[in-house]
Amino acid sequence: MAQDMARRSLEIVLIGPPGAGKSTIAEALVAARPLVLISTGQRLRAEIKARSRIGRAVAGALAHGDLAPDSLMDRVLRAGIEALDPAQGVLLDGYPRTMRQALGLDVMLADFGRDLDAVLALEVDDDEVIRRLGGRRICEGAGEPFPVHIDDLASMLRCQERGGVAVHRDDDRPEVVLQRLAVYRAQTAPLLAHYGARGVLRRVDASGSPADVARRAVAALAPNAPVAR
């Protein structure tokens, strides 16, 4: 696998519970590796904001902490991969989230002559998730939206200085966070055993500062990094 990863584009999946910092870690991975990020969550939120047909179809489910239908997610992801140059590697954030999606991903990648290289699993406990999401805001109106936290004065000031507004996402409300965690445990966490059995799983401790977690995630993609089971 290490030789394959060295000579062709990488196909990476990023998995973790809500609040694990997937968006932040995805940015670090894209900066460190030749990867194009496809974040299905960002794409769905953009569709909701635009009040498109897809956005209207998923808005209710996401607002209550549930997952979008598999068939719709397949369409969103296929469109993203189809737009890539075949030589570009891909980092998937937000897909797969169910076993059905994981099996469909194998077929989809094969359709484009691609094969999954690694699954990075960010691991963090529920109490930390609740703390993070309870204070998380999204800076909007300052270019591409980016996450900030009410406990991180520097990020809040950066948003303000750029003319942005810190917005509390509906799916970060406490009752919705608990539902999202329950959905993750029931539908997404089982994928870890699936990918562990395939020999592509790499676990990453997602506690601590974003910079520390980013370093661990980048290191987990090294050819000699340990593979989890």
- Looking at the predicted structure, is the pLDDT value of residue 140 above 90? yes
Sign of CA dihedral 210, 128, 219, 11: negative
Span 72-101, pLDDT tens digits: 888 888 888 998 998 899 999 989 999 999
Between 65 and 31, name the one with better pLDDT: 31
Mean pLDDT of 177-196: 93
- Looking at the predicted structure, is the pLDDT value of residue 181 above 80? yes
- Looking at the predicted structure, is the pLDDT value of residue 198 above 80? yes
| pLDDT given for residue 2 in this prediction | 43
In DSSP notation, 109-155 reads HHHTT----EEEEEE--HHHHHHHHHHEEEEESSSS-EEEETT-HHH
- CATH code for the domain in which residue 97 is found: 3.40.50.300
Residue 140 domain-assigned?
no
**CA–CA gap between residue 43 and residue 131 (Å, rounded):** 25
Q: Mean pLDDT score of the chain, rounded to an integer? A: 88
Residue 131 domain-assigned?
no
- Looking at the predicted structure, is the pLDDT value of residue 4 above 60? no
Residue 138 domain-assigned?
no
Inter-residue contact 189 to 203 (CB < 8 Å): no
Q: Is cis: bond before 96, omega within 30 of 0?
A: yes
pTM, to two decimals: 0.80
Q: Give the residue numbers marked as catalytic.
A: 22, 97, 136, 169, 180
Residue 168 domain-assigned?
no
Lookup result for tokens 């099996």? 103
Residue 160 domain-assigned?
no
Span 151-165, pLDDT tens digits: 889 999 999 999 999
Residue 148 domain-assigned?
no
DSSP state of 207: -
Closest to 198 in 3D by CA, of 165, 163, 228? 228
- For residues 151-181, one letter each, b for 16 or more C-beta atoms within 10 angstroms of the residue's C-beta and e for the rest, the string is eeeebbeebeeeebebeebebbbeebbebbb
| pLDDT given for residue 8 in this prediction | 58
| pLDDT given for residue 45 in this prediction | 81
**CA–CA gap between residue 129 and residue 181 (Å, rounded):** 9
> How many independent structural domains does the chain possess?
1
Sign of CA dihedral 206, 212, 217, 220: negative
- Looking at the predicted structure, is the pLDDT value of residue 182 above 90? yes
Q: Which domain holds residue 67?
A: 2-126+174-220
